[in-house]
C-alpha cells in the first residue's frame, strides 16, 4: 500500500461521466469508484483507458498520477480504443478539419454507448500532437523534463541510451570475479565493447522514430508493440503504445522493460567470465557477447504485464563463445624427382 494516495481519473464503460479518485491501493480506488458509479464491487476491476491493461496491486504503484482508468463490471471488457484510433490518425500530419467536423456530428447523433465512446476517443486523439516533435510544438509533453530536452526523439533516445549504459555498468563491475591473471583480458574485451557502443551512440536509435527502419523498434509515427513473452510467438494481449503522443504515454512507456531473451545476470555475464578464465590460448568472441548484451539480437521490448521474472532456460551458443581458430595448412611432402 502506498504511503501517499495516488490520484486517477476514473470512468465507467457505459457512462459519459468521469471522476477524480484518490487511493493508496488498487482496491481502495476500485471501492471508491464503485460507490461513485453505483456499481457492484464484486467482480469489478480496473484497467488502463489507453490499452486495456488490467491493474493489479503490484502494477498500481507504477501507474502515473492522473492516469485515466476504466471501471469494468463482471462480463465487461475494454481493449483500449486510443491505440487503434491513434494508428489511423497518425497517418495525418495535421488533423483534418473535415474529419473532426464529421466525427463531432456523428457523436451528437450516435446513441449506442460503445460507439459514442469510440467517437469521443477519436476526437480526443485528434487534439493530441502525435506528429509534433519540439518543445515549442507540444509543451505539455515536456512537463517534468529538464530544459535541455528540446525534442521528443532526443529525449527518447536518451531514455534508451540510459538503459544500455546501465547494462554496461553492470558488466563493468565484474573484473574482480575473473581473477588477477584474467583481468587484463576482461578489461580488453570490455574496452572493445565500450568503443563499439560509443560508435553507435549506445543504440539510442531503438526508441527514435526518426531513425532508419532497421535501427528503431517503432513505426515512423512512434508506435511500439510488446515483443514478449519470449516463449510465445507474440504478445497475447497485443499491447501497444505511442510515447510520442502525450505526457501520460511517455511516463507509461518508462515502465516497459527492455529485456534480455538469454538472461544477462544468470547466463550471459557468467558465461563471458568463464570463457575468459578458460580461454587457454583461444580468443573470446567479444562481438558475440556484445550482441547479446546490448543489441536487439537479444533485447526485446516487453510490456510490464508480459514481463516474467522467471528463468528463460536459454544458454549462450557454445560454438560462438570463441572465435574460430584458423586451420593450419598441411605441408605437402616434396616429391622426389
**Measured distance CA(69)–CA(57) in Å, rounded:** 14
pLDDT at 189: 93
Residue ranges covered by each domain of the chain: 6-83, 94-127, 152-306
At residue 60, the 3 state secondary structure works out as helix
Pick the CATH number of 6-83 from 2.40.30.10, 3.10.20.10, 3.30.450.40, 3.40.50.300: 3.10.20.10
pLDDT at 92: 45
pLDDT at 122: 53
pLDDT at 236: 46
Joined together, the cell numbers standing for residue 173 give 563491475
Kindly list the distances between the CA atom of residue 310 and the CA atoms of 45, 172, 205, 225, 287, in Å, as whole numbers in the listed order: 26, 24, 28, 22, 27
Q: What is the pTM of this model?
A: 0.64
Please give the chain's pLDDT, 337 residues, in tens.
788 899 999 999 877 788 999 999 999 999 999 999 999 999 999 998 877 888 999 889 888 888 889 999 998 887 765 444 444 444 444 445 455 555 555 545 444 454 445 555 555 555 467 889 999 999 999 999 999 999 999 999 999 999 999 999 999 988 777 777 788 889 999 999 999 999 999 999 999 999 988 899 999 989 898 887 654 444 545 578 889 999 988 999 999 999 999 999 999 999 999 999 898 889 999 999 999 999 999 999 998 777 665 445 789 999 999 998 776 566 666 666 5
pLDDT at 318: 93
Which residues neighbour 126 within 8 Å (Cβ) at sequence distance 6 or greater?
89, 95, 99, 100, 103
pLDDT at 126: 52
Amino acid at each position: 500500500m502506498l504511503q501517499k494516495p495516488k490520484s486517477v481519473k476514473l470512468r465507467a464503460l457505459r457512462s459519459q461521466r468521469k471522476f477524480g479518485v484518490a487511493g493508496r491501493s488498487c482496491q481502495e480506488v476500485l471501492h471508491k469508484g464503485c460507490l461513485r458509479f453505483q456499481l457492484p464491487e464484486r467482480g469489478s476491476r480496473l484497467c488502463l483507458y489507453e490499452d486495456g491493461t488490467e491493474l493489479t496491486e503490484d502494477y498500481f504503484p507504477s501507474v502515473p498520477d492522473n492516469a485515466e482508468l476504466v471501471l469494468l463490471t463482471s462480463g465487461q471488457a475494454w481493449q483500449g480504443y486510443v491505440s487503434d484510433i491513434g494508428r489511423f490518425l497518425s497517418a495525418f500530419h495535421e488533423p483534418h478539419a473535415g474529419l473532426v467536423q464529421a466525427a463531432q456530428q456523428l457523436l451528437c447523433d450516435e446513441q449506442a454507448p460503445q460507439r459514442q465512446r469510440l467517437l469521443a476517443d477519436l476526437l480526443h486523439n485528434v487534439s493530441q500532437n502525435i506528429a509534433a516533435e519540439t518543445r515549442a510544438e507540444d509543451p505539455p509533453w515536456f512537463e517534468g523534463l529538464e530544459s535541455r530536452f528540446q525534442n521528443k526523439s532526443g529525449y527518447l533516445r536518451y531514455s534508451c541510451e540510459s538503459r544500455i549504459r546501465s547494462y554496461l555498468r553492470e558488466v563493468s563491475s565484474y573484473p574482480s570475479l575473473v581473477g588477477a591473471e584474467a583481468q587484463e583480458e576482461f578489461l580488453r574485451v570490455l574496452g572493445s565493447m565500450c568503443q563499439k557502443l560509443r560508435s553507435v551512440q549506445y543504440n539510442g536509435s531503438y526508441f527514435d522514430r526518426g531513425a532508419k527502419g532497421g535501427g528503431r523498434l517503432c513505426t515512423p509515427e512512434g508506435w511500439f508493440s510488446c515483443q514478449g513473452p519470449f516463449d510465445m510467438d507474440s504478445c497475447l494481449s497485443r499491447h501497444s503504445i505511442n510515447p510520442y503522443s502525450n505526457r501520460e504515454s511517455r511516463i507509461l512507456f518508462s515502465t516497459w522493460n527492455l529485456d534480455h531473451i538469454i538472461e544477462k545476470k544468470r547466463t550471459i555475464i557468467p558465461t563471458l567470465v568463464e570463457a575468459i578464465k578458460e580461454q587457454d590460448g583461444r580468443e573470446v568472441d567479444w562481438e558475440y557477447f556484445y550482441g547479446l548484451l546490448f543489441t536487439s539480437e537479444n533485447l526485446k521490448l516487453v510490456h510490464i504485464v508480459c514481463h516474467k521474472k522467471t528463468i528463460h532456460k536459454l544458454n549462450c551458443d557454445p560454438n560462438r563463445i570463441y572465435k574460430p581458430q584458423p586451420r593450419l595448412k598441411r605441408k605437402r611432402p616434396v616429391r622426389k624427382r
